[in-house]
Structure 1
């Protein structure tokens, strides 16, 4: 199967999120590759990418050599965050070969697991992030704050989706009370039965035609069930969670972008158990704007919010206006961001040093030692 020619139907592209107003950077690349077709990355696998020019079946394409994952003794020439992710727009020639990556409007990413600093892209060019959490043993306000920290700095709108509202032991009111500090930061909270179209329809305001949403959350939270209900068909594989700890299995094994009947697109993702900051976040983005405002009102600028006189944060905790567990998570995440920021700065310095060294090694002898 080949992709259609460059004159792709704009309506089909629009159905998977293409914007009619193209910024100058995009236009320059389009002009540089007149024979290329715009396409969106709808699946990402270890072996390559699947792209589409409209709703329906995608096409496997070849990527640029520098985007291919390193293997054996070969080192990758492009860092993972600079390679395409699901949601990215690319230019494809001859219906089978990517020739350019169009600049992103934004991206959702996290710090990758491991000792070495790396970033992992979750999705690109998204308008809304649906943070899915079950009203069972999966419910964890502290983990939700981590998701918000990673989401809000991207420019996407976060929405908290509390699934399994139909369970006999579900207490949506108590969950909303536990999330009151987050909801006060103008983050929408919606409780649904993921299998019931009538309740899932409450997500319609964030799934407008031409917009892209991504579902994030732990395994078993109900992301794929929400996707199936929005589609009206059982497209994504689902499985039950373990009863004793509400943990799910990784039934979704790769990220996939799907066009919805509403005209929006949704990206389903595998469950994530580790959510590390990248070091680029601002602590207020985790729904902690109120704590930051309280800290500004402390008597001392370097207040540690422990036993200092005139501490507005401690006073709010003592009055019952600020949850101490939430404040503890604020301090923990703030330290993690600072540590990740230091690692990011060190990595950037190493890369810059490597570039300078490479330029020096490739200098002409008469430039290095003077003309003779």
Structure 2
């Protein structure tokens, strides 16, 4: 089924104006669009982007438009699925053009795996981020923390779906897995779900019924199957994951936006092999809120939580209330985020270099003192 037919059939608008409404149009967007309405442009929401062109839901229906006028050098400002745009009305130009994008309310971004470490925008104007984790393989809590950091940083409310729950027939075992995930996801709803049996689908449907939801996860996590279940028809092709490691091929190759029958819209994304942070300091702090709270109780405000006296984090590690794995993951994401930000922030880059030099000098001094005692 093509994207155009799937959008049209799933939304089934009674009039052209309702096509905007079912895609999330509201008074706020109308106010932001007012200057462009005066120019005779049409409002629309991007439902798919493909090689310099995009499909947009407008009052005239789903139209195809060229993005040449809104292709900046900054990869975080290119047209993305979920964007609201001002587009030429019919008959003005051939091809039609997207003339401008409305300011985004939220944006889900990550760093690419390229050597240039550029940012990549995955979805725009998202209210809910559904992180899909397959129970067909061993849980990777560190990867979940990464997804959560990006979700919180985007401004969306994350939800974690433990897909393929039917593969864990023991209710007690399933509850333990849910608890494991809840320990790394403070303030986040965790939903065990099976697209085969329907378990948990009603819970997730209620979560995504309002606003815009983006599906995130690695290949083989079951996102396409979940998208089909939420939309109520086979809008995405599904391929089986490998039995040996649970990994799947990239069934979804573009980001597509679908209207949900219970209200709201859904953006399905390709499986992510890399989940690199992109200026996500606030998101990391949200994921590791207990460490942030403990840090405020340390004797020194710049405590590194290593050997400093009066360190509340070290005390929590010692009494077992804070797992060592959790602290190591926190440190790893903080360092990674600093490296990304430092590439565009000269001041931070200088501070990190000074810190490396200081730690190096301290290490050399400690080694020299140790050698002196040996003699």
Class of the TM-score when normalised by the shorter of the 2 chains: 0.7 to 0.9
Structure 2 distance, partners of 1:273, 1:286, is: 23
Deviations 1:186-212 (A, max 9, x none): 111111002344521111332224x11
Structure 2 distance, partners of 1:136, 1:198, is: 16
Structure 2 CA distance for partners of 1:25 and 1:260, relative to 1, 3 Å: closer
Structure 2 CA distance for partners of 1:82 and 1:234, relative to 1, 3 Å: same
Structure 2 distance, partners of 1:22, 1:51, is: 15
Structure 2 CA distance for partners of 1:133 and 1:328, relative to 1, 3 Å: same
- Partner residue of 1:52 out of 45, 50, 57: 57
Question: Alpha-carbon deviation of 1:248?
Answer: 1.1
Question: Is the Cα contact below 8 Å between 1:196 and 1:229 reproduced in 2?
Answer: no
1:88 aligns with 2:74: no
Structure 2 CA distance for partners of 1:169 and 1:241, relative to 1, 3 Å: farther
The aligned counterpart of 1:181 is 183
Question: Is the Cα contact below 8 Å between 2:141 and 2:184 reproduced in 1?
Answer: no
Question: Alpha-carbon deviation of 1:83?
Answer: 1.4
2:165 is paired with a residue whose SS is coil
The aligned counterpart of 1:64 is 68
Structure 2 CA distance for partners of 1:157 and 1:14, relative to 1, 3 Å: same
Question: Alpha-carbon deviation of 1:214?
Answer: 0.3
1:139 aligns with 2:139: yes
The aligned counterpart of 1:205 is 206
Structure 2 CA distance for partners of 1:54 and 1:320, relative to 1, 3 Å: farther
The aligned counterpart of 1:359 is none
1:26 aligns with 2:71: no
Question: Alpha-carbon deviation of 1:273?
Answer: 1.3
Question: Alpha-carbon deviation of 1:306?
Answer: 2.1
Structure 2 CA distance for partners of 1:240 and 1:113, relative to 1, 3 Å: same
The aligned counterpart of 1:305 is 305
Question: Alpha-carbon deviation of 1:58?
Answer: 3.4
> Which sections of structure 1, spanning at least 5 residues, go unmatched?
2-7, 68-76, 350-372
- More moved, 316-325 vs 246-255: 316-325
Question: Is the Cα contact below 8 Å between 1:145 and 1:286 reproduced in 2?
Answer: no
Question: Is the Cα contact below 8 Å between 2:214 and 2:268 reproduced in 1?
Answer: yes
The aligned counterpart of 1:37 is 42
Structure 2 distance, partners of 1:175, 1:314, is: 27
Question: Alpha-carbon deviation of 1:121?
Answer: 0.5
> Which sections of structure 2, spanning at least 5 residues, go unmatched?
5-14, 91-95, 350-375
Question: 1 or 2, which has the higher helix percentage?
Answer: 2
Structure 2 CA distance for partners of 1:311 and 1:281, relative to 1, 3 Å: closer
- More moved, 105-114 vs 167-176: 167-176
Deviations 1:3-37 (A, max 9, x none): xxxxx843221101111233754333333x2x211
Question: Is the Cα contact below 8 Å between 1:279 and 1:342 reproduced in 2?
Answer: no
Question: Is the Cα contact below 8 Å between 2:130 and 2:216 reproduced in 1?
Answer: yes
Question: Is the Cα contact below 8 Å between 1:279 and 1:344 reproduced in 2?
Answer: no
Using structure 1 for the length normalisation, give the TM-score.
0.82
Question: Alpha-carbon deviation of 1:258?
Answer: 0.4
Question: Alpha-carbon deviation of 1:284?
Answer: 4.1
Question: Alpha-carbon deviation of 1:242?
Answer: 1.1
Question: Is the Cα contact below 8 Å between 1:117 and 1:344 reproduced in 2?
Answer: no
